[in-house]
Structure formats: C-alpha cells, structure tokens
A and B are shown apart, each in its own frame.
Chain A
C-alpha cells in the first residue's frame, strides 16, 4: 500500500513533467527538446518569488502560467511557424523541429546561467510529513500530485468536452484534413504549443518545491518526458497519465522491494517492453 501511494505520487510528478510535451508534440507536432528548460525556468521563478517575496509557489503558478504561455506562443510564432510552413512531410517537420529546439535548449541554459547563475536553487516548502493510511509522505509531493490531478483532469475535460478541444483533437488525428473542415490549424497549433509550455512551467514550479534544480538540469526532465510521452502514445492525455503512473509505481516497487540501484534499469525495461509490444504507445493509434 505504502509502495502504491509513493509510486502514484511519483507518477504525479512524472505526469507534470510529460503532459506539456504531449500537447506540444501531439498537436503542434513539435518535438520540443527545450521542454526541460521551460520546466526549470518555471522552477526558478517559483524559487525567486519564494525566497525574495515569500510568495507561495501555489500562488506563483498563476504568474508563471501566463508568462510561459506568452513566451511559448512567441517562440512558436517566430521560430517554429516558418518550419511548419516549409515542411512538406511530418518527418521533415520532426527533424527540423528537433534540431531547432535542441539549439533552443542551449540558448535556454545560457540565458538562465546569465540571469540566475549556475548555483543550485533549493528551498523548503511544505516539507512536513502528512499521514496517509498509516504511512508518512511529504506534504509538498502530495500537493504537487493534487495539482497534477487538477491540471490533467482539466486538460482532459477541455479536450473532450469543448469545441476548441474537439478541433485540437482533430488536428492531432489528421492535421491535413482538419483544415478542410474549417479548423484554423495555425492558430490552434500555436495555442496548443503555448498551453503545453505553460503546463510544463507550472509543473516546474511545483516540482521545485521538493527537487533540487540548477540551470543545466533541464535535459534530465526532457528525457523523462520523452520516454513517458512515447510510452503513453502521442497526442493522448490519458496515455501520458497512465504511463506516468505506471513508471512511478514500477520505479518505487523496484526501489523498495529489490534495490534502489535498479530503478533506471526497471524504467527502461518497461519502456522497451511497451515499444516491443505496442510501438504506437499505450493509447496511441496506429499510424496509417
């Protein structure tokens, strides 16, 4: 039970890391390798707000989200839209966007180093024990998990119940046909990319309450997000959530029952297994 809850909490963290990338990759078709830098930037803002203004990260996210949204929208419009326009096939867009965002991740690291320095930024927020079913858990992790549930739930509802969500799902399924039925693909792609960035930055702000970050840790999160998105299936919120939870539970179970040294191996075995038996991901649709 203890393992299950710890695993689910960790899964919530992973969902926060990956859900934004899923939106960006699934809808806007941008494999954003600078995802981790956006996350770290969100964490930085939360850190600065907490240390200098004593502002709770739970309030900071309302500042982080619109900022990250605007920044990502700008990035998409200025940098990535030309790539989308000139790409003849999806494959070409993927290659181009990987190269472009790879470069962007270096710029991101450089900017953050310039502005904030390379020091670790860590602070203590809600690092108090919380009793749940007879075991103790960090309150900050539980809060982050609740926020992850809220964010993922809201995204899921929005994608499945609203008109804009319907259009976005249409783009994710068939970008070429979506235009034929009068969907403004350009505008909605930019929206999805910006929204993905905002979610990632908010995730970063929440994660910074219990993980120690520095300017160059972004790549660690990008990799994890990539694995989760691919495991879950591209363009499906449910897939990402299930994959994140699965990964969290497997890692915790292995760490508690076998050996903490084997968590990485377990994560990659899971990844390999899913790729072997369901190459399109848990909830992914087979591409035609």
Chain B
C-alpha cells in the first residue's frame, strides 16, 4: 500500500519528462557539429570552424530561430570534439545521428576528416556541405555520396591559379623563371605539390629546388637555406599552419631575396599578419576574400563582437556561407533531409561570399584561390568567378 505514492510520483515524473522532451523536440532544431578542439588540426579549427558555427547559431536564435512550416524553431547546437582523429569523427557522427537524433549535422573540419565521415553522412541521409575539404576527387565523391557538397574549391584550381598569378607577374617582367617549391609531407602538401609541378613546368618555369619536410619539423632553416642557395625568383610552400609560420620566420632571418613568396594554409589567419606585421606585406597565400565587400565586413564585425577574434581571410567566411545555405534550405523545404539535399542541388543561395549555386558535381564553382597580404589585410588576388580581385604586388624585402 505504501508503495502507491512512490509509484504515482514516478509515473508523474516520467510523464513530465516525456512532455518536456516532446516539447523540446517540437521547438528546437537539433544541429550537430563535430570538429577538432584538440589534436593536430585544433589550431585551424579554432580559427576557422568553431567561431563561425557559434556566430551563426547565435544570430539565428537572436532573430527568433528558423521558420519551418510557418513555425519559429530555435537551434540547439550539439558539439563534439573529434581530437583530429578520424575514428572519433565517425563515432561522433554516428552518435549525432542515432543517439542525439540531430536534424542536421555540420560537415567536419579538414579534408581527411570530411572524407572519413562521408559514408556515415550518406548512410543516415544527412546532407554534408563540406568546407575545408579541398580535393580533385569531387566528381567521384559526389557520384558516390550524392548528398556531399563542396564549397572551397579543388586542389588543381588552387595550384593552377598560383601558377597563373606567377605567370602574369613574369609576363609583366616582374619575375624571373626560377621557382623553389617545398611541401609538408602530408596528404594536403603532397597532393598540391604533385598537382603544381607539371603546371609550373608547362608554364615554362624552372623548378630549381624541390623538397618535402615532415609535419612538425622544429627547425626549418635547412629548408630555407637550401632554397636560398638555389637562387630562386619565387618561393612556393604547400605548408600547414606551424610550418607556415616557421618558414616565413626563417625566410625573414635569411632575408631570402624573392619577388614572390607563397605559403599555403594559415597565411590568411589574422595571427599571421599580427605576428609578421609589415614583413608580411606581399606574401601570397592560399585563399582570399574580398575584404571590401560590405557583406564580409558586416560578418567580420559580428564575428569579432561575439568571439573576440577576427575571422580568417578564407575559409571562415565560406564556413559561415555553408551554414547560411543550410538555413535557407531548411526554411524553404523544412526538416526533411532528402528534400533539403534536393533543394541544395537546385537553388542559388545568397551568402556572405555572394551567390553560390552547386554544379552537376555538387561543387561550388565560384571560390577564391590566391590571396596576398597588402597593407595589413589579406586580399584575394585570384579567384574562380568571384568579384573584387585585387592586383598583385611584388614582394619587396622583409622589412
């Protein structure tokens, strides 16, 4: 007899629990996010991926949420750290799909981690709008995973446009023929060096120094000294963040005399400009934006206000654009993931970067490829179909 009150209490609690659970799931859109907070890519993801996600969620919720079938729904963000470990990325995506029952999942960070997660996005039917996944395999991948989309461009475009920029400089009589090219011995660096080499040779450049170095090399002075000894006119490094900083500092110390100096990932990071100041002037790098566009300026300002840090001059805005695209699709067709994927394929979206429409390979054909530090700002100097390309300047010493 004396068990009854307890049973009542339990059933009342269960009922209340179920009610709040249903209420919550009716009102909020659960968005999953998985990206590195620790491990090798954490530094990059902290600059590029996470702040844009937080900014987007904050802005959408401040505006009262997304309109789904005439109803305002707030976003509930569920985030996981994958420790830059593909196994963890896969586990987190699985957990988001099955345990957390996320309505949508934001694509992971980095080429390798995006590829690792693609089969799971595909199996559970989630659209995957990949940003920091640069590869030439986009047609094959979108064929295999029809709901995988690409926004940041291809390896070949990145390499080809750099070769194009250097060729233009040579044609204008500003640059000689000798190129020193180095790369980090990692998937990204190897793929880009392999793509760039024939392009350089085809364009009539002479590769006077070529080498690779392991990820995490603590002293890059032998690389820069080796390159300097070959007396190049242009120095190109397909590099990752720690070595992008290391190579630039060594180049400053060696006072390497080149008319064009290029480092890849992390060159567009605000901390790069902050660290090297005036010496960064004229340094070319992967990516770019149009820093004069009002949409970018507004985004950069909001980014600064919410996170206390400036966005980078490349993938940050693209990450934000990918979320804008997702939001516009959800508002257009609702929470049905298959319908959202179909909508993604067919529509032109208005984003911070300008209009984006995916082509037959699910790829965004309009993206930035080469940028350059000019007077403390990293401006885009080459792009595929983007407005606001700035003219290239010569690298004039390291002072």
Q: Do A and B come from one complex?
A: yes
Q: Does A273 contact B (CB under 8 A)?
A: no
| B246: min CB distance to chain A, Å | 7
Q: Provide the residues of chain B in CB contact with A263, threshold 8 Å.
A: 213-214, 217
Q: Does A109 contact B (CB under 8 A)?
A: yes
Stretch at the interface among A55-63, A112-120, A186-194: A112-120
Let me know if B38 and A109 touch, CB within 8 A.
yes
- Measured between alpha carbons, how far is A123 from B270 in the docked complex, in Å? 12
| B108: min CB distance to chain A, Å | 15
Q: Provide the residues of chain B in CB contact with A13, threshold 8 Å.
A: 218-219
Find the A residue at minimum CB distance from B243: A212
Q: Is the interface of B mostly helix, strand, loop or mixed?
A: helix
Let me know if B276 and A6 touch, CB within 8 A.
no
Q: Contacting B225 at CB < 8 Å: which of A2, A128, A211, A259?
A: A2
Q: Provide the residues of chain A in CB contact with B241, threshold 8 Å.
A: 120, 212
- Size range of the interface on B? 35 or more
- Measured between alpha carbons, how far is A10 from B222 in the docked complex, in Å? 11
Find the B residue at minimum CB distance from A3: B222
- Measured between alpha carbons, how far is A205 from B220 in the docked complex, in Å? 19
Q: Contacting B222 at CB < 8 Å: which of A136, A139, A255?
A: A255
Let me know if A124 and B277 touch, CB within 8 A.
yes
Q: Does B266 contact A (CB under 8 A)?
A: yes
**CB contact under 8 A between A211 and B218, given known A137-B253, A259-B211:** yes
Q: Does A279 contact B (CB under 8 A)?
A: no
Q: Does A220 contact B (CB under 8 A)?
A: yes
| Interface membership of chain A positions 109-150, coded 1 if the CB is closer than 8 angstroms to chain B and 0 otherwise | 100010001111111100111000000111101000000000
Let me know if B46 and A256 touch, CB within 8 A.
no
Summed over the interface, the residue pairs from A and B with CB atoms below 8 Å come to a total of 119
Let me know if B39 and A216 touch, CB within 8 A.
yes
- Measured between alpha carbons, how far is A263 from B277 in the docked complex, in Å? 31
**CB contact under 8 A between A122 and B213, given known A10-B219, A256-B226:** no
**CB contact under 8 A between A136 and B254, given known A120-B241, A261-B185:** yes
- Size range of the interface on A? 35 or more
Let me know if A118 and B46 touch, CB within 8 A.
yes
A238-263, CB < 8 A from B: 248, 251-252, 255-256, 259-261, 263
Let me know if B218 and A212 touch, CB within 8 A.
no
Q: Provide the residues of chain B in CB contact with A120, threshold 8 Å.
A: 43, 47, 241-242, 245, 266, 269, 271
| Interface membership of chain B positions 268-300, coded 1 if the CB is closer than 8 angstroms to chain A and 0 otherwise | 010100111100000000000000000000000
Q: Does A210 contact B (CB under 8 A)?
A: yes
Q: Does A164 contact B (CB under 8 A)?
A: no
Q: Provide the residues of chain A in CB contact with B46, threshold 8 Å.
A: 117-119, 214
Q: Provide the residues of chain B in CB contact with A3, threshold 8 Å.
A: 222
Q: Does A4 contact B (CB under 8 A)?
A: no
Q: Does A215 contact B (CB under 8 A)?
A: yes
Let me know if B218 and A138 touch, CB within 8 A.
no
Let me know if B214 and A118 touch, CB within 8 A.
no
Q: Does A264 contact B (CB under 8 A)?
A: yes
Q: Contacting B211 at CB < 8 Å: which of A113, A220, A224, A260?
A: A260
Q: Does B212 contact A (CB under 8 A)?
A: yes
Find the B residue at minimum CB distance from A117: B46
- Measured between alpha carbons, how far is A10 from B184 in the docked complex, in Å? 20
| Interface membership of chain B positions 218-230, coded 1 if the CB is closer than 8 angstroms to chain A and 0 otherwise | 1111110110000
| A37: min CB distance to chain B, Å | 12
Q: Contacting B246 at CB < 8 Å: which of A109, A136, A211, A252?
A: A211
Q: Which residues of B contact A (CB under 8 A)?
A: 36-40, 42-43, 45-47, 182, 185, 211-214, 216-223, 225-226, 241-242, 245-246, 249-250, 252-255, 266, 269, 271, 274-277, 309
A-B contact pairs, 23 of them (CB 8 A): A109-B38, A113-B38, A113-B42, A117-B46, A118-B37, A118-B42, A119-B47, A119-B309, A123-B275, A124-B276, A124-B277, A210-B249, A212-B241, A215-B38, A216-B39, A217-B242, A220-B216, A224-B218, A251-B219, A260-B211, A260-B214, A260-B223, A261-B185
